[in-house]
Amino acid sequence: MSGSARALQPPRGMKDYLPEELAKRRRIEETIRQLFRLYAYREVETPTVEHLELVAAKVGEETRRAMYAFKDLGGRDVALRPEGTAPIARLVASKLRTAPKPLRLGYVWDFYRYDEPQFGRFRRFYQGGFELFGVSGLEGDLETLIVALDLMTRLGFKTFNVKASNVVVLRSLLAKAGVSEDGQNAVLSYADKRRYVEALEHIRSLGVPNRTVEAVSKLFELRGPDYESILQEARGLCEGCPDAIAALELLQHLLDSAKVLFPSTQLIVDLGFARGLEYYTGVIFEVFVPPLEIALIGGGRYDRLVELFGGEPTAAVGCAPGIDRLLLAMEEKGLSTPAEAASLAYLIPLKGISEDEAARVAYSLRSLDLAVEADVSRRGLKRGLAYANQRHLPFAVILGKEEMARGHAVLRNMAEATQTEASLEDLAIKLKRSQEAKATGRLEPHGGSS
Ligand code: AMP
């Protein structure tokens, strides 16, 4: 590609959203915001650019390397945010330090990671976030998992899987064998990439007793939908490590509760599963739609992050739906996504109608919240109607000189090809009624499909 042709494309791994695709993305965002309302999450926003130090603190090696980090013109080290938990924890450690807990915060933001672009992996992507602070018990993990699955259901997915683990199982086994937190992070980071051989070599190199290496090696292999028997087997491997046993119990309790609400969801326990971000301190989970192998939603508990940023010790749990990936999965499953919101009427001024008159009528209709697209290029009647047809606009409002002299215009029903003359007031009432009927009519097929 020549230099100038390249400049016409967005940077590699980033997307332009044209109207149709953006309308689909907005539908997902609206559903996320609907859940903010239903679950009492209050939306916040932070800058896209953060101090490098903050966002690099606990994101894990891989994301740290993939950051868009730079010096601003004042010489400060900053970065485009690669994920949302650190900025949110920063708020809770500072401005929201004294906010009553439990505190629920929501967001819909864009993120930047210099990953190798591939299916479902972009360098700029959108995530929603549901973050709950001040709840250390199972209720917090459960609400987070439920909101994630509620979102999947509302977006119309019929089947989806959850993969879950608890990082405390591996961490406490390793800690008991004397492995430092850095050592544990290295092991979890290998596990995150499913590089179990290297993870085990690393553990051995730290002088961990064979018994523990064996147990970890078997845990890495324990995964499947029959979670009860898997957790039972895991309890056997963790004998003598009460923290690991308690972590397994908690996971079992969480999955048992989720099963009641979402009986057709496959709940997979995968004890060799770790998430890339280092800050997790408890249950972690991801949501998938087979056969796609990319995680659509990721979540987990991160009880120490707020403290790490200088705040009070604060229990925290949350999940982040990946909006671009949900969009891909919805396309893959052929889930209905609405067309762009089109106008209700096309306003056609005929010869002899001044720009001012046309603009006045359009403005008065819009002031009644009627969506009106105005012909501002003097197409004339024939081409104006052809355009309204092509755009599937339900009505045309035709402004002729004679009718306008009486304070009237012509309202044309495009689908029926019928038209009537009416006063501008009556015409507005008719349009309003039709808009309301359309809005209530639309609810039924939608409600039924989700
Ligand atoms: P994470 O912040 O890595 O826990 O990711 C949370 C969710 O965001 C994932 O489950 C994905 O759906 C989405 N996500 C993460 N990284 C990317 C990316 N590079 N491109 C698109 N979506 C992503």
Rounded to two decimals, the pTM is 0.90
Question: How far, in Å, from the CA of 374 to the mean position of ligand 1?
Answer: 41
Question: How far, in Å, from the CA of 448 to the mean position of ligand 1?
Answer: 30
Residues in the chain: 450
**Per-residue pLDDT for 278 more than 80?**
no
Phi, psi of 335 (to 5 degrees): -75, 135
Query: What is the best residue among 111, 165, 328 to mutate for testing ligand 1's pocket, by most ligand atoms within 8 Å of CB?
Result: 111
Q: Which atom, in ligand 1's list, is nearest to the CA of 325?
A: 12
Phi, psi of 145 (to 5 degrees): -65, -40
Residue whose tokens read 């192998």:
293
Task: For the sheet with 345-349, list strands across it.
Answer: 372-374, 345-349, 395-399, 408-413, 418-423
Question: How far, in Å, from the CA of 440 to the mean position of ligand 1?
Answer: 36
- Minimal-distance CA residue to ligand 1 atom 6: 298
Q: What residues contact residue 95 under an 8 Å CB cut-off, 6+ apart?
A: none
Q: Which has the higher per-residue pLDDT, 181 or 104?
A: 104
Beta strands 408-413 and 395-399 are antiparallel
Average pLDDT, the chain: 93
Contact 122 CB / ligand 1 (< 6 Å): yes
Query: Worst-scoring range by mean pLDDT, 165-174, 181-190, 237-246?
Result: 181-190
How far apart CA 151 and CA 155 sit, in angstroms, is 6
Q: Which atom, in ligand 1's list, is nearest to the CA of 298?
A: 10
Distance in angstroms between the alpha carbons of the first and the last residue of the chain: 44
Which residue, 331, 399, 311, is CA-closest to 155?
331
Residue whose tokens read 């332009």:
16
How far apart CA 429 and CA 134 sit, in angstroms, is 51
What stretch of H or E contains 77?
strand 77-80
Q: Which atom, in ligand 1's list, is nearest to the CA of 84?
A: 2
pLDDT category of residue 279 using cuts at 50, 70 and 90: confident
How far apart CA 274 and CA 165 sit, in angstroms, is 8
Structure tokens at 134: 């001040």
- Minimal-distance CA residue to ligand 1 atom 2: 83
Question: How far, in Å, from the CA of 7 to the mean position of ligand 1?
Answer: 27
What stretch of H or E contains 421?
strand 418-423
pLDDT category of residue 275 using cuts at 50, 70 and 90: confident
